[in-house]
Chain A
Amino acid sequence: MAKLDAFINPLIRWAELLAKACVVLLFTSVFSSVVLRYLFSTGSTKLEDLQHYTFGSLLLLSVAIAFASGRHVKVEILQFEAHAVSKRGFLVLWLMLLVCLPMGFIVVLSIPEILHSWRTLDGSSELDGLGGLFLVKTFLPITGILIFLIAVGRAISPADREL
C-alpha cells in the first residue's frame, strides 16, 4: 500500500503542477489573442491552437486531480447504518466496478486512436497551426490510468479516505 502511495502521490503532484500551468497558459493565450485583436487587428492560429491544447489537457488532468482530492460531487440521500466491513465491501465493490473497470475500458478503447494520432503526428487542422495534438490526446489514457491507480490505492488502503 505504502509503495503504491509513494508511486501515485508524485504523479498527482506532477498532474497538479501541469494543470496549474495549463490554467495560466490558457489565460495568457486568450489574453494575448485579445491584445492582438483589439490593438493590432490581427489574430494568431497558433494562439488559438494553444487555447485548444491547454484546455484539453487541463480538462483531462483536472478530472484525475478532483478524484484524488475527493472533490467529485456526491449526494448521499440514502443514509444506512452498516457494519464497517459491509461499508468497506461496498466501497471496494463500486471502486472496482464503477471506476477501475470503466477506466480500464476507456484506456483500451482509446489506444487505437492514440496510436493513430502518434503515427500521423496529429496536429492543428490549420496549415499555420501548432503541432503536438497527439501529445494532448495522450492525456486521455494517462488520466484513465491515474484514476485507475488512485481507485486501486483507495480500495486496498486500510483507512477510509474521502472520495
Chain B
Amino acid sequence: MQSFILLVMIVSVFAGIAAGIPVMFVLLGIPILAGLAGTILGVFEPSFFNAIPIRIFGIMENQVLYSVPLFILMGKLLEHSGLAERALSAVTRLFNGGAKSLSIAVIAISVAIACTSGIVGATITMLGAVALPAMRNFQIQEKFSAGLIMASGSLGQILPPSIVLILLSDQISSAHVTNQLAAGNFSPEPVGVGHLFAGALLPGLCLAVFYTLYVILVLDEPKKKLPNRNTKKEQTRNDWFGLSAVLSLFLVPLSILLGFATTIEAAAIGVLVIGLMVFVSGKGNVLREVLLETTKLNGVIFGIIISASVFSLVLRGFEGDIIFQSLFSELPDGALWALISVMLIVFLLGFLIEFVEITYVVVPLTAPVLFALGVDPVWFAILMAVNLQISFLTPPMGISLFYYKSVSGIDTPNLYRSVIPYVAIQLLMLIAILIFPSLATWLPSVLI
C-alpha cells in the first residue's frame, strides 16, 4: 500500500505539472494530500508533517541562499539599465563591425552578463530586443539568430556565479556531508559553492568558445557594417562606457574565484557597481520596478524550493529514498552506469520541468547513492549543471524558448530547429566531462 500511494503521488505530481497547475502548488499540495491519505491508511507516520515548518525555517537560515536575491537584483538592474545595448555595440565595433562580429559580440556580452547572475529570461529578452534587430539588418537567418541568442543567453546558468550553481551547492554539500558521516569520516572536506564556481568555469568557457567557432564556421559574412547613428565623439563615449561596463562585470566572479570576497559579498559589490552605472546613465527611476521584479522572481524560485522540500520530506516518509537508493545500487557496473542513468533521467526531465525542481527533487535522491559509490561531488555537480543547461533549450519546456518566442515572434518549428546545433554542442560537452572528469575537478583543486 505504501509503494502504491508513493507511485500515485509521483504520477499525480507529473500530471498536475503537465496540466498547467503552478509547479509550486503541485509539489506542495499533492504530497500533503498523499501524506494525509497515508496517515488515514496507517502507512505514513504523521509526525513527518511536524517537520514542515522546521524545514521552512531551515531554508530561511541557509546562508548559501542569502546571495540569491542579490544576484537577482543585479540581473534586473542590468536588464533595465540599457548597458547591454551600449556594450553590444561597443564590442561589435571593437572587432570589424560585421555580421560575424555582431554574433561573436552576442556571445561575449552573454558571458559578461553571466558574470552577474545570469538570469536567463533577462539576458534573452535583452538580447532579443537589442541584438535581433541588428542581426535582421545583416539579413542573418532568423533560425541562426534564434539559436545563437538562446544558447548564449543560457550560458549564465553554467558560468559562475550562477543561481543554478548556488542551489546545486546547497544540495550537493549536504549530501556529501551526510555520505561522509555515514562512512565514518567525522571531519569531511567541505564541498562549497566556491568549488562549483571553479569547476563550472572551464566547461562554461569551453561552451562559449565552441559557440564562437560554430559562428565563425557556419555564418556567411555579408558586406555590411553596423550603422553609426551618433557623432564620432558620442560614439566613442558610448563605446568606452559599454566596454568599461562589460569589464566591470567580470570583477564579480573573479573576486570570488580568487578568494577576495565571499559569494554574498561579491553579489553586494556587483549590485553597487551596476546600481551606480544605472544612476550614471540617468535611469535611476527604474529602481522601484527593479525591486518589485526582484521580489517576484525571488518568490518564484523560493516557492519551488519550499515546496520541493515538502515533497522530499513526504517522499522520505513513504520510504521513497530507500526505494530509489536500492534501484540505483542494483545498476550494473556501479558508479559509472548509475551516473549515466541519473544524467539520462535529468536530460529527459529537462524536457518537462525546470532546473529548480530537478535540483531540489532529483539531487537529494540520487546524490547520496552516487557519492556512496565513489562519484566525486564536484564532478557530479558540474555534470548536473551542464545537463540543466541543456534543459533550458530543449522543447517543449525549455524556458529559453519561451522567452525568445515572446520577443521575436518566430514560428515554433523554426524555434525548435534553431537550438539543435547548440544542444548537440552541450551534449558533447557533457560527454567530454563524463570521459574527462578533470575538466570539472582540475580548477577547484588548483584554486581552492
Interface residues of chain A, those whose CB is within 8 Å of chain B, are 16, 19-20, 23-24, 26-27, 30-31, 33-34, 37, 51-52, 55-56, 58-67, 69, 71-78, 90, 94, 97-99, 101-102, 105-106, 109-110, 113, 136-137, 140, 163
Other than A26-B66, A78-B15, give 16 A-B pairs with Cβ distance below 8 A.
A30-B70, A33-B265, A52-B60, A58-B69, A58-B295, A59-B302, A63-B306, A64-B299, A65-B296, A66-B299, A75-B353, A77-B396, A94-B25, A98-B16, A98-B33, A110-B56
Which 8 residue pairs are nearest across A and B when measured between Cβ atoms? Answer: A98-B29, A66-B299, A62-B299, A56-B60, A76-B20, A72-B22, A30-B268, A20-B291
Known: A66-B303, A75-B352. A109 touches B17 (CB 8 A): no
* Cα(A16)–Cα(B53), bound, Å: 23
Do B268 and A27 touch (CB < 8 A)? yes
Expressed in whole angstroms, the minimum distance between the Cβ of A69 and any Cβ of chain B is 6
Do A63 and B299 touch (CB < 8 A)? yes
* Cα(A31)–Cα(B291), bound, Å: 17
Annotate B1-21 by CB proximity to A: 1 below 8 A, 0 otherwise: 000000000000001111111
Known: A59-B302, A65-B299, A94-B16. A113 touches B353 (CB 8 A): no
Do A34 and B269 touch (CB < 8 A)? yes
A31 and chain B: residue at smallest CB distance: B268
Enumerate chain A residues within 8 angstroms of B297, measured Cβ to Cβ. Answer: 66, 71
* Cα(A74)–Cα(B22), bound, Å: 5
Do B32 and A102 touch (CB < 8 A)? yes
Enumerate chain A residues within 8 angstroms of B63, measured Cβ to Cβ. Answer: 52
* Cα(A69)–Cα(B22), bound, Å: 12
Enumerate chain A residues within 8 angstroms of B299, measured Cβ to Cβ. Answer: 61-67, 71-72
Enumerate chain B residues within 8 angstroms of A77, measured Cβ to Cβ. Answer: 17-18, 352, 396-397
Known: A26-B70, A66-B296, A140-B56. A74 touches B29 (CB 8 A): no
Do B295 and A20 touch (CB < 8 A)? yes
Most interface-central of B32, B63, B297 (chain A CB within 10 A): B32
Known: A77-B352, A102-B29. A23 touches B69 (CB 8 A): yes
Enumerate chain B residues within 8 angstroms of A73, measured Cβ to Cβ. Answer: 22-24, 300, 304, 354
Enumerate chain A residues within 8 angstroms of B59, measured Cβ to Cβ. Answer: 59
Enumerate chain A residues within 8 angstroms of B298, measured Cβ to Cβ. Answer: 23, 58-59, 62, 66
* Cα(A109)–Cα(B295), bound, Å: 26
B294 and chain A: residue at smallest CB distance: A23
* Cα(A61)–Cα(B22), bound, Å: 18
| B299-334 with Cβ < 8 A to chain A | 299-300, 302-304, 306
Enumerate chain A residues within 8 angstroms of B24, measured Cβ to Cβ. Answer: 63, 67, 72-73
Do A106 and B296 touch (CB < 8 A)? no
* Cα(A102)–Cα(B32), bound, Å: 7
Most interface-central of A52, A72, A90, A106 (chain B CB within 10 A): A72
| B57-79 with Cβ < 8 A to chain A | 57, 59-61, 63, 65-66, 69-70, 73
Expressed in whole angstroms, the minimum distance between the Cβ of A103 and any Cβ of chain B is 9
The residue that B21 contacts in the complex, of A62, A69, A94, A109, with Cβ under 8 A, is A94
Do A98 and B73 touch (CB < 8 A)? no
Do B295 and A16 touch (CB < 8 A)? yes
Instruction: Judge whether B286 is part of the interface by a CB distance below 8 angstroms.
Output: no
* Cα(A163)–Cα(B70), bound, Å: 26
Instruction: Judge whether B50 is part of the interface by a CB distance below 8 angstroms.
Output: yes
Enumerate chain B residues within 8 angstroms of A31, measured Cβ to Cβ. Answer: 268-269, 271-272
Do A109 and B53 touch (CB < 8 A)? yes
Enumerate chain A residues within 8 angstroms of B49, measured Cβ to Cβ. Answer: 105, 109
* Cα(A71)–Cα(B301), bound, Å: 10
Enumerate chain A residues within 8 angstroms of B271, measured Cβ to Cβ. Answer: 27, 31
* Cα(A34)–Cα(B255), bound, Å: 13
* Cα(A26)–Cα(B66), bound, Å: 9
Do A109 and B52 touch (CB < 8 A)? yes
Do B69 and A99 touch (CB < 8 A)? no
Enumerate chain A residues within 8 angstroms of B295, measured Cβ to Cβ. Answer: 16, 19-20, 23, 58, 61-62, 65-66
Instruction: Judge whether B440 is part of the interface by a CB distance below 8 angstroms.
Output: no
Enumerate chain A residues within 8 angstroms of B396, measured Cβ to Cβ. Answer: 77
Do B53 and A106 touch (CB < 8 A)? yes
| B256-284 with Cβ < 8 A to chain A | 261, 264-265, 267-269, 271-272
Do A30 and B28 touch (CB < 8 A)? no
Most interface-central of A20, A27, A67, A136 (chain B CB within 10 A): A27
